[in-house]
Amino acid sequence: MKICQLCAVDFTLRHFLLPLMEGMRTAGHEVVGVCSEGPLLTKVRAAGFRIEPVEIARSYNLLRHIGTYRKLVTLFRREAFDIVHVHTPVAALIGRLAAARAGVPCIVYTAHGFYFHDHMPAAKRLAHIALEWLGGRFTHVLFTQAREDAETARRLRLTRARAIEAIGNGVDPARFAPPADPAAHRAQMRTALGTPEDAVVVAVVGRLVAEKGYPELFEAMAGLAAEPIVELWVVGERLASDHASAIDESLAKIASAPALAGRIRLLGYRADVADLLHAADIFTLPSHREGMPRSIIEAMFCGLPVVATDIRGSREEVVPGETGALVPVQDSRALAEALNRLIRDPALRATQGTAGRARALVEFDEARVVARQLALLGLA
């Protein structure tokens, strides 16, 4: 079959969709990527995939997407895809409308986490539910990563899809396998970053936007114990296409507090996330909303205990008291308390980290997630 994988930006195609594209190609299908042009597509093209660039703005103003819609209709008609598989909220909505107009026989939507959530203002939440409902009129198969999202889609009747399936999420275990000499690796990475060997390192990986919980995390850092030394490694950047709230005010507060600023390391975008996680002690992700966060899975594969917020997706990954802890959303005090428990107890960190890795190996292998999608779509 001929399959289109459509998303808004190169980051998504490179980091989230490439394994699925490779799995589909291995199964004997032709796969074409469609998204806005970007530097990360170099890796996708190097893997042998054709990319058809179409600029897709990350905006919910539908008038801004008229040109994109027309380009996609033309592209879909020319390519005669058997399946158009869409991802990310805006691209998924415009892509489904265009695929329906072009007469694509099978339209698949993967919801990597519905944008609406319980902590959103009611009017905004209803608006996003309405947009999901609209897109659902033009969806043949709906995949969600989290089981809760699948249940929500059924309960709110968001789609007329013939199938609604929770496929989970995963990563390649080989990419996050323990280093041959863990102690030497840890020392090398910390030396390179200027982090003391005896410091307890808390790592977070995510875009630099407020909904990832950075304001509360920075507040929690101020409330951590003075001993032992604690550093926060922040891995990520704000994407040029991001429409989520910035964290400029939080960063300004850090800059005005030298003692706190010295404990927070903004590392930006990194290609060596696995190496960094293997040199850290604790992972945290205090997001306000998620689908089924891959960063938590990566941390679990690296043997780190995880402190996350009690939200959909994250609570399917973290087992409180066994592999980490779950805390209320936007509660910096609870976050600090959970981190402090792990900071002060190396044995607890080791026990929960080991349990997390064992759970990840069973539940979150990327190959199983890809195989499940191929089977459900009859592509295996």
Can you give the CATH number for the domain in which 64 is found?
3.40.50.2000
For residue 243, the model assigns a pLDDT of 56
For residue 171, the model assigns a pLDDT of 96
Residues 159 and 178 in one domain: no
Residues in the chain predicted with pLDDT less than 50, given as ranges, are: none
Residues 187 and 313 in one domain: yes
Tally of domains in the chain: 2
Residues 266 and 358 in one domain: yes
Residues 309 and 348 in one domain: yes
Residues 44 and 161 in one domain: yes
Residues 142 and 202 in one domain: no
Contacts (Cβ under 8 Å, ≥6 apart) of 308: 284, 285, 286, 287, 293, 296, 314, 315, 317, 318, 324, 325, 326, 327
For residue 251, the model assigns a pLDDT of 86
Residues 185 and 240 in one domain: yes
Residues 55 and 163 in one domain: yes
pTM (predicted TM-score): 0.90
Residue-number span of the structural domain to which 292 is assigned: 173-363
For residue 242, the model assigns a pLDDT of 57
DSSP 173: G
Residues 40 and 146 in one domain: yes
pLDDT in tens, 164-208: 999 999 999 999 999 999 999 999 999 999 999 999 999 999 999
Contacts (Cβ under 8 Å, ≥6 apart) of 259: none
Residues 47 and 153 in one domain: yes
Residues 231 and 335 in one domain: yes
Residues 7 and 100 in one domain: yes
Taken in order 363, 151, 327, 214, the sign of the CA dihedral is positive
For residue 244, the model assigns a pLDDT of 61
